[in-house]
Amino acid sequence: MSLNYGSDNKSALQAKFDAQKIAFAPIMFQAAKSLRDLGILEIIKKHNKDGLTKESISKDLDLPLYGVKVLLEAGLSLEIVMVDNDKFHLTKTGWHLLCDELTRVNMDFTNDVNYLGFFNLTDSIKTARPSGLKIFGDWETIYEGLSELPIDVQKSWFAFDHFYSDYAFPEILPIVLESDVKFVLDVGGNTGKFAIKCAEHKEDVKISILDLPGQLEKAYLNIQNNGFSDRISGYPINLLDHSKPFPNGADVIWMSQFLDCFSQADIMELLKRSKEAMSDASSLFIMETYWDKQKFEASTYSLHATSLYFTSMANGCSQMYHSEDMLNLIDNSGLYVEKSYDNIGISHTLYKCKKK
Ligand SMILES: C[S@@+](CC[C@H](N)C(=O)[O-])C[C@H]1O[C@@H](n2cnc3c(N)ncnc32)[C@H](O)[C@@H]1O
């Protein structure tokens, strides 16, 4: 496969402006976040028809006028707000920053999980280690420490993870849980969200969640609270230990937003272990977001940025993959894609794989 993406046909002036946007991006990001978190965007939205002066914003929110002034001026360059006769109004971009859940989830993830650690990105690139993770703890990967991260960081991590998969689950359940499916292995099942959805969708299906012990503690609580302890079990395992086989006998092996947490070498081993646990009748379903499969530029942009979260914070070696990377790994592990489903949820692709 040869990679083709992008072009270089903007004017020199535009190129220079875009370079300045990058040069000041972290400062302007924090400005946008302050405008959101201090309630400035909210109060402008409430009075958007007539607009608000900086003085009235300062007075209503009990914030120093100086601070409101510099933030609003940054907001003008960010095109979050516009001003007309001294009165500030929210732009469409400003509306998205304030009201669009996708934008909020991405922004909180960037700030709470990534911002501080990203000072170490260059080191991560050189060492293939998640050098930024040390700001939270001394773990090899973020997954080992997930249940011990500060509560606000966990909240933003889970909100980010769940936001994307939550949209996809309802669409794929009828595909994954065909009538003869009785036993599902949910590999990297995290807090049990998918397992619980399966149990709700089909009353004769049993699910076993393979994940690290810390994540399973959370899953057990959720499973119990939903009354499914008789049908959903946990299987504590470090999946990076490739000497440990997967449990046999599953009709479906399910991997959602999971393989992106691993290097290509580890994915190969995980796929081979899946294959060893599969019969000819069983299926492996892989649901991922591939950057080349996106309908919108905004999605590809978000996925390229998310890749670097894996580099700097998560493990130093994985990413949001190109679909060809995954298809090669599937092929080389002795599996094949029987059916492919694009445009699932917000941005997912689902591969149904069988043993060759
Ligand atoms: C990004 S989350 C995906 C969660 C869920 N499948 C979904 O679609 O929302 C990846 C999951 O893989 C698990 N995981 C990552 N590395 C692991 C490892 N070495 N052993 C076991 N589980 C691991 C994490 O704990 C986490 O629950």
Which atom of ligand 1 is nearest to 239's Cα?
20
- Predicted confidence at residue 1, as pLDDT, reads 74
Per-residue pLDDT tens digits of the chain, which is 356 residues long? 799 999 999 999 999 999 999 999 999 999 999 999 999 999 999 999 999 999 999 999 999 999 999 999 999 999 999 999 999 999 999 999 999 999 999 999 999 999 999 999 999 999 999 999 999 999 999 999 999 999 999 999 999 999 988 889 999 999 999 989 999 999 999 999 999 999 999 999 999 999 999 999 999 999 999 999 999 999 999 999 999 999 999 999 999 999 999 999 999 999 999 999 999 999 999 999 999 999 999 999 999 999 999 999 999 999 999 999 999 999 999 999 999 999 999 899 999 999 99
Number of helical (H) and strand (E) elements in the chain, helices listed first:
15, 9
Which atom of ligand 1 is nearest to 315's Cα?
16
User: What is the rounded CA–CA span in Å between residue 265 and residue 50?
Assistant: 58
- Predicted confidence at residue 166, as pLDDT, reads 85
Give a yes or no: residue 227 inside a domain. yes
Pocket test for ligand 1, best of 147, 212, 317 (most atoms within 8 A of CB): 212
Same domain assignment for residues 50 and 131 = no
Give a yes or no: residue 7 inside a domain. no
Pocket test for ligand 1, best of 186, 190, 266 (most atoms within 8 A of CB): 190
- Decide whether any atom of ligand 1 lies within 6 Å of the 117 Cβ: no
Give a yes or no: residue 28 inside a domain. yes
Q: Which of 54, 72, 99 is the last residue of a domain?
A: 99
- Decide whether any atom of ligand 1 lies within 6 Å of the 258 Cβ: yes
Same domain assignment for residues 205 and 310 = yes
Location of structure tokens 């732009």? 91
Give a yes or no: residue 4 inside a domain. no
Distance from the CA of 235 to the center of ligand 1, in angstroms?
A: 13
Same domain assignment for residues 128 and 242 = yes
State the CB neighbour count (10 A cutoff) for residue 131: 22
User: What is the rounded CA–CA span in Å between residue 122 and residue 115?
Assistant: 14
- Decide whether any atom of ligand 1 lies within 6 Å of the 257 Cβ: yes
Distance from the CA of 193 to the center of ligand 1, in angstroms?
A: 12
User: What is the rounded CA–CA span in Å between residue 143 and residue 315?
Assistant: 8
Give a yes or no: residue 148 inside a domain. yes
Distance from the CA of 189 to the center of ligand 1, in angstroms?
A: 6
Same domain assignment for residues 303 and 239 = yes
Residue nearest to atom 4 of ligand 1 (CA): 190
Give a yes or no: residue 265 inside a domain. yes
Which atom of ligand 1 is nearest to 260's Cα?
1
- Predicted confidence at residue 346, as pLDDT, reads 86
User: What is the rounded CA–CA span in Å between residue 101 and residue 115?
Assistant: 20
Residue 338: which CATH number?
Answer: 3.40.50.150
- Decide whether any atom of ligand 1 lies within 6 Å of the 131 Cβ: no
Same domain assignment for residues 293 and 244 = yes
Residue 95: which CATH number?
Answer: 1.10.10.10
- Predicted confidence at residue 324, as pLDDT, reads 98
- Predicted confidence at residue 151, as pLDDT, reads 97
- Decide whether any atom of ligand 1 lies within 6 Å of the 144 Cβ: no
At what angle are helices 193-201 and 213-225 packed, to 10 degrees? 40
Same domain assignment for residues 59 and 153 = no
Number of domains in the chain: 2
Q: Which of 52, 75, 99 is the last residue of a domain?
A: 99
Same domain assignment for residues 70 and 121 = no
Residue nearest to atom 12 of ligand 1 (CA): 188
Helices (H), the chain: 12-23, 25-37, 40-46, 54-61, 65-77, 92-99, 101-108, 121-127, 142-145, 151-176, 193-201, 213-225, 264-277, 297-309, 323-332
Distance from the CA of 48 to the center of ligand 1, in angstroms?
A: 43
User: What is the rounded CA–CA span in Å between residue 92 and residue 73?
Assistant: 17
Give a yes or no: residue 74 inside a domain. yes
- Decide whether any atom of ligand 1 lies within 6 Å of the 108 Cβ: no
Residue nearest to atom 10 of ligand 1 (CA): 258
Which atom of ligand 1 is nearest to 164's Cα?
9
Distance from the CA of 95 to the center of ligand 1, in angstroms?
A: 33
CB 31 within 8 A of CB 74: yes
Q: Which of 48, 75, 99 is the last residue of a domain?
A: 99
Give a yes or no: residue 3 inside a domain. no
Same domain assignment for residues 82 and 203 = no
Same domain assignment for residues 87 and 150 = no
Pocket test for ligand 1, best of 258, 288, 319, 348 (most atoms within 8 A of CB): 258
Same domain assignment for residues 61 and 207 = no
Residue nearest to atom 15 of ligand 1 (CA): 143
Domain that holds residue 327: 103-355
Residue nearest to atom 22 of ligand 1 (CA): 211
- Decide whether any atom of ligand 1 lies within 6 Å of the 238 Cβ: yes
Same domain assignment for residues 93 and 129 = no
3-state secondary structure of 240: coil
Same domain assignment for residues 110 and 61 = no
